[in-house]
């Protein structure tokens, strides 16, 4: 039977094919649920757990595993004793915060954190900077300043309070200082 020739009913062969066959649903991929490829061709089953890309699996990943990002082992001569080298990576924001932090030591008399905050609030208004002092030990406090230049300027001399005879010394914060106080 040729294309376009009629049958006994008067229908063409091409119209029979389309009307008698129900539309066939594609099964698709059971891994990702899409119907444009089969399970064998699915690329989502190759999802990498370390980097998240779907073009390779975890064993073929070129990214450094997270468990290898710890401190580097330097030596282990004695059992259960080893030495590690820890690189110091300081965040820029943390570095700026530390450079504007000062240690205030009360040399004469006693001052609380609130009294010191009040003294500096008279110098720089609280609308521009929020002063907050934290007690580290007796007569030793830590306080952040608006900038490191102000810490440097005030560290050149002893400061007295407006009402009273207490004196305090301001020195820039250093990592070598015992800022945590006595343990």
Alpha-carbon span 74 to 84, nearest angstrom: 5
Q: What is the pLDDT of residues 30-56, one digit of tens each?
A: 767 778 887 777 766 667 777 777 777
pLDDT of residue 181: 46
- The pLDDT score that the predictor gives to residue 122 is 81
pTM score:
0.47
Q: What pLDDT score was predicted for residue 166? A: 86
103: which strand partners?
Answer: 142, 171
Calculated CA dihedral for residues 28, 31, 33, 36, nearest 10 degrees: -40
Whether residue 166 is found in the same domain as residue 102 = yes
Indicate the residue among 38, 66, 87 that finishes a domain: 87
The number of folded domains in the chain is: 2
What is the spatial distance between Cα 163 and Cα 183, in angstroms, rounded to a whole number?
Answer: 33
pLDDT tens digit string along 91-124? 666 666 777 889 999 999 888 889 888 888 887 7
What are the φ/ψ torsions at residue 101 (nearest 5 degrees)? -100, 140
pLDDT digits (tens, 9 = 90+) for 63-100: 766 666 666 666 666 777 776 666 666 666 666 677 78
> At 145, is the secondary structure helix, strand, or coil?
coil
User: Considering the domain boundaries, does residue 104 fall inside one?
Assistant: yes
Structure tokens at 73: 């082992």
CA 108 to chain centre: 43
| E-only strand ranges, 21-166 | 72-75, 83-85, 101-108, 133-137, 140-144, 158-160
Largest CA distance in the chain: 121
**In the predicted model, is pLDDT for residue 19 greater than 70?**
no
CA distance 160 to 168: 6
The DSSP letter of residue 22 is P
Structure tokens at 1: 């039977």
Is the Cβ–Cβ distance between 108 and 167 less than 8 Å?
yes
* 17 within some domain: no
**Same structural domain, 71 and 110:** no
In the DSSP assignment, the letter for residue 56 is: S
* Parent domain of 61: 28-87
- The pLDDT mean for the chain works out to 74
Which CATH number is 155's domain given? 3.30.70.330
Q: Is residue 178 part of a domain?
A: no
Domain boundary among the residues 70, 87, 104 is at: 87
């Amino acid at each position: 039977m040729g294309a376009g020739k009629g049958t006994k009913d008067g229908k063409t062969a091409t119209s029979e094919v389309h009307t008698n066959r129900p539309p066939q649903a594609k099964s698709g991929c059971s891994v990702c649920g899409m119907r444009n490829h089969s399970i064998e061709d699915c690329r989502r089953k190759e999802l990498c757990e370390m980097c998240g890309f779907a073009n390779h699996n975890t064993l073929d990943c070129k990214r450094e595993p997270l468990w290898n990002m710890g401190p580097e082992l330097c030596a282990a001569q004695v059992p259960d004793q080893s030495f590690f080298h820890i690189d110091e990576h300081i965040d820029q924001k943390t570095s700026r915060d530390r450079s504007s932090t000062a240690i205030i030591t009360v040399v004469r008399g006693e001052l609380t954190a609130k009294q010191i905050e009040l003294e500096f609030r008279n110098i720089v208004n609280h609308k521009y900077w929020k002063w907050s002092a934290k007690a580290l030990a007796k007569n030793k406090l830590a306080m952040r300043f608006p900038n490191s230049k102000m810490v440097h300027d005030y560290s050149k001399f002893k400061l007295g309070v407006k009402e009273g005879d207490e004196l305090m010394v301001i020195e820039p914060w250093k990592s070598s200082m015992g800022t945590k106080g006595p343990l």
